[in-house]
Structure 1
Amino acid sequence: MKLHWQIVIAMVLAVVIGSITSVDTWLYQGYEFVGTLFLNALKMIIVPLIMSSIISSMASLNQGGNLGRLGLKTLGYYATTSLFAILIGLTLVNITTPGVVDGQAAGESLNLDADPVELESTLEKVEGRGGKDLLDIFIRMIPTNIVAAASGGQMLGLIFFSLLFGFFMGRVEGRMGEVLRDFCKGVSKTMVLITNFVLKFAPLGIFALIAKTVTVTGFSALSPMLVFMFTVIVALAVHTLVVLPLLLKFIGGVSPQKHLLAMMPAMLMAFSTASSSATLPLTMKCVQKRAGVSRKTSSFVLPLGATVNMDGTALYECVAAMFIAQAYGLELGVVTQFTIVIVALLTSIGVAGIPAASLVAITVILGAIGLPLEAIGLLLVTDRILDMMRTAVNVFSDACAAVIIARTEGESWVLNQEHEVELPEED
């Protein structure tokens, strides 16, 4: 059975069984035990997965003179669209405030247990009050001890170090450079396999976490979760149907409607698999055969985009972190929200193109703003359907990048959305 169907069944069973379970039974203790194991497994893979992905990506990008005009244009586009996506999500989540119900923080109805005093104390370490605190964000990007940063979960410093290490590793010539790059690629692929292994237990972990919440709160958690889901969907729609089409129209000179139709097979594949990496071969076919972009441009822009361009993921991470902060009743200032924007932008680079990998990245943001990582259990309730949607957005943004960059390189083409492409079966 496909993983997403397993998760749907687990969610339904969790709601039904949790509603008839009492807190003082051994079943509730079992929910806590299994849920904690699953969350611990997610935390375990954070540092190696993020670091190895970023280092490997940067090394590949910098190797062989890829950071030329085409490379800079591509990275500039990816950074810009990801920033737009994050700001859209940040704006909407501040308007809808899904973590607030009837003027009160929804933490209790969502079964979020945390000491408010301890939370506020932790938050003050990163919540800026003025210009000096804003500069402290950048100071924390350069850790004095990389090992201590890893053990302390200071991911902002680890991400910066990984970017730096990967960039210069790509410039090491000869056998030493090859060994280093092969080693990092091997670590990255190994961590993807471990992540896939952990996610095989997602139905069990989601069942335990949802059943635990329903047992304690009943159905009071439904309202804020629906508002959160609505916020993410609307934000993704605005980015996909407004921002990206405007870029296509005014920079690429292409009809957004026709391009959307041309990329529909790849977007459907992305939606069904929730994996931009698995969709990459079909994305390249659609861009080359249906959108008419040259093989030279698409073969560089699209593989890079499948690794570092995650508009939908970055948007989701930002909304999720704000939602959890609101649920805990924390007032996040401008500087703290700026921290969320920066961390979401950086971590989106290192998110593996596999289903639910963004859950790992969200733990990075929660740690950066001082929120308990256990709160990630909340997001598992709606994650699968939102994961499918944000992956489709990621793929469409990659395709828009290929068209726009090809246009700026002087390429001319004719859209052919009728060209037949085979739709691969889901793994």
Structure 2
Amino acid sequence: MIYTSTWETLEYFISMSSYKSVISIVVFFALQIGLWFALKRFKNKFLHLFSGLVLGLVYGVIIQASVGFPESFKEGGAWKSEYQWIADLDNWSVLFKQIFIITITLLMIPLIFLSIYRAVTKKSSRRLGRVTAKGVAFLMVNVAVAFIIAAVMGILIKVGVTSDGSKVLDQIAASEPSSDGDDKVAISSIPAMIVDYLPKNVFASLAGGAVIPVIILALIVGLAVKFISKKSPEKVVAFSNLMEASWEIVLKIVNGFIKIIPLAIMSIVTNLMITQSLTALTAVAKVLAAAYVSLFICAIYLTAVLAITRIKPHTWWKQGWRPPYQGLVTQSSSATLPFTMKSLVDEMKVDETCVSTIIPLSTTMGMIGGAGAEGGLIMSLLWTGSDSGAIHDQGIVLFLLLGLIMTMIISFGIPGTPGTSTLVITSLLNSLGVPSFKNAAFQIMLVLEDIFDIGRTATNILAAMVVSTIVAFSEGMISPETEILSKKARMHQAKINSIKTLKDQRYEELDKLKVKFIPENSTTVPKKQKAEYVALTKDIKTKYRSELKSIKGSKS
């Protein structure tokens, strides 16, 4: 008995319960080592990005085929004994996935803090408020568009109706006890939400995973440094240098981890393939089809928006496809954040201020896939999958309108990490007053969670990149060296920048005039001096309006 217990403990510790475990794990790491050396020899970017994906898919399918593509690997939440060796492989194959995601997550908070800080302390930060407002507004519009697309698509193909015409949610709900009142998620009021977002403790905010408190903290620090630097720049030189050095260090670490992305991708894909029942996925094929068709339409919509704003879609996609692809395999918007920012700034030449503001925000609010498409799909599943009066008595328009409103509210707090379905389903069903369908919805949506999360994350990242690009373009914050702007777009942006320069000149002239005629500590100003100041101010404003009219009247 003692030996048996010791052996079982050892098996658990080394996660190798049989010769099958040993062989499968050794083969997996042999493939990883071979991939590493192959990539060091071949520098092709396409090979670097897709080799891990292909190897992971092939190895995962081989493992599935070796056990006959079972309907389920688990029973009662635990691995079936005959598949224990796959569980062991799962424990080991997830290693690089966890190392990669944990490291990137570790860097995410300092990266966000430093990027926002640098954006605020830049001279161009006067436009930061407009950039933020436009970014949030556009992200929320995307949520609404995705919700409508997914809801309409789901209703059209009747995602909640089985091949024999049965209502799937009613079937599942009838076979299970009601879950009313279980695990309810309260929707916070706007004041409560604002209070929750405020940083309570400097170190706790930086150590936690919440993004918005870090952004607020970075804004406070950045504004304080900027204010001090105007009057006593020497006092913040050391701190500014420290922040710049920290930024360089974080970027260096990020660039170092880019090298192991293929290994992480292989690990992630293998893990996905050996833990998902391909047979079970066929049972929810209609829902999965609706989900991916909706995401595809969302991608078309985003591409169309680029074209409408006179940005070259082909060139944009050519330079911006890598972050969404990385999102496909990492299943985390947060994990790809540094690569998304790098792609926009280095390749598309989008201003860092804009990117550093919108991209971090997009990992915690306004997700087109994680909130919009997910919410719309759930609403269509409720409408088509049940005959409940609680759903149908209010009519389809009101039902979807309520769902849209609640989805947009929920979208302010959805994290850019895997597994957002649970949060969206629970929040949405409770807020709509139909929590009894929660377990039924879980049984359908969670089966395809990982598969749906692949496309959902990629679309989230794509939307964030498009929003950053368009907001930057609207503010004239894309470098003339970029290749993504059409000729008309360049002319339009040149006009925007001319107006910006004109405004800056006006502010500068007015500030100088004020310093000259109205001393800082003076309580009274002689009438003659004040009259001269007013006259000169009027001249500056008249000149500004005239030049502004001339610029706006020119062709763009």
TM over 0.5: yes
When the two structures are aligned, how many residues end up with a matched partner?
Answer: 322
- For residue 245 of structure 1, what is the aligned residue in structure 2? 303
Shift of the 237–152 alpha-carbon distance from structure 1 to 2, 3 Å rule, reads closer
Distance across 2 between alignment mates of 1:238 and 1:222: 22
User: Does 1:270 pair with 2:336?
Assistant: no
Give the CA RMSD over aligned residues. Answer: 4.3
- For residue 141 of structure 1, what is the aligned residue in structure 2? none
Out of 233, 242, 245, the position equivalent to 2:292 is 233
- For residue 263 of structure 2, what is the aligned residue in structure 1? none
Identity percentage of aligned residues: 20
CA displacement 1:164-219 (0-9 Å, x = unmatched): 3246x3xxxxxxx6x446545655469xxxxxxxxxxx98xx87xx79xx9xxxx8
Out of 300, 312, 321, the position equivalent to 1:255 is 312
Secondary structure, in 3 states, of the residue corresponding to 2:336?
helix
User: Does 1:390 pair with 2:453?
Assistant: no
How many Å apart are 1:232 and its aligned residue?
A: 0.8
1:322-341 → structure 2 map (5 Å cutoff) = 322-330=380-388, 331-332=391-392, 333=395, 334-341=397-404
Distance across 2 between alignment mates of 1:182 and 1:14: 49
Out of 67, 72, 75, the position equivalent to 1:31 is 75
Q: Larger deviation: 375-384 or 394-403?
A: 375-384
Distance across 1 between alignment mates of 2:431 and 2:410: 11
Distance across 2 between alignment mates of 1:350 and 1:91: 24
Native 8 Å contact 2:369 2:460 kept in 1: yes
- For residue 129 of structure 2, what is the aligned residue in structure 1? 68
How many Å apart are 1:7 and its aligned residue?
A: 9.8
Native 8 Å contact 2:320 2:344 kept in 1: yes
CA displacement 1:377-419 (0-9 Å, x = unmatched): 32222221210111111111111111111111123444458xx
User: Does 1:319 pair with 2:391?
Assistant: no
User: Structure 2: which amino acid aligns with 1:287?
Assistant: L
CA displacement 1:9-55 (0-9 Å, x = unmatched): 99989996558xxxxxxx9xx934669xxxxxxxxxxxxxxxxxxxx
- For residue 349 of structure 2, what is the aligned residue in structure 1? 292
1:74-85 → structure 2 map (5 Å cutoff) = 74-85=135-146
- For residue 5 of structure 2, what is the aligned residue in structure 1? none
Shift of the 234–153 alpha-carbon distance from structure 1 to 2, 3 Å rule, reads same
Distance across 2 between alignment mates of 1:9 and 1:320: 33
User: Structure 1: which amino acid aligns with 2:438?
Assistant: L
Unaligned 5+ runs, structure 1:
20-26, 36-56, 123-148, 170-176, 191-201, 418-427
Q: TM-score, normalised by structure 1?
A: 0.63
Unaligned 5+ runs, structure 2:
1-27, 29-51, 80-111, 212-270, 485-556
User: Does 1:366 pair with 2:429?
Assistant: yes
How many Å apart are 1:280 and its aligned residue?
A: 0.8
User: Structure 2: which amino acid aligns with 1:342?
Assistant: I
Shift of the 350–8 alpha-carbon distance from structure 1 to 2, 3 Å rule, reads farther
- For residue 165 of structure 1, what is the aligned residue in structure 2? 195
Distance across 1 between alignment mates of 2:61 and 2:189: 34
Secondary structure, in 3 states, of the residue corresponding to 1:98?
coil
Q: TM-score, normalised by structure 2?
A: 0.49
Q: Which has the higher contact order (CA 8 A, sep 6+)?
A: 1
Shift of the 281–300 alpha-carbon distance from structure 1 to 2, 3 Å rule, reads same
User: Structure 1: which amino acid aligns with 2:449?
Assistant: D
Native 8 Å contact 1:289 1:416 kept in 2: no
- For residue 477 of structure 2, what is the aligned residue in structure 1? 411
- For residue 161 of structure 2, what is the aligned residue in structure 1? 100
Secondary structure, in 3 states, of the residue corresponding to 2:337?
helix
How many Å apart are 1:337 and its aligned residue?
A: 2.1
User: Does 1:301 pair with 2:358?
Assistant: yes
- For residue 422 of structure 1, what is the aligned residue in structure 2? none
Secondary structure, in 3 states, of the residue corresponding to 1:278?
coil
How many Å apart are 1:295 and its aligned residue?
A: 1.2
Shift of the 155–69 alpha-carbon distance from structure 1 to 2, 3 Å rule, reads same
Distance across 2 between alignment mates of 1:96 and 1:288: 41
Distance across 2 between alignment mates of 1:398 and 1:231: 22
CA displacement 1:196-245 (0-9 Å, x = unmatched): xxxxxx98xx87xx79xx9xxxx8x945x11111111111111111x212
Native 8 Å contact 1:11 1:381 kept in 2: no
User: Does 1:155 pair with 2:180?
Assistant: no
Q: Larger deviation: 372-381 or 282-291?
A: 372-381
Distance across 2 between alignment mates of 1:404 and 1:273: 26
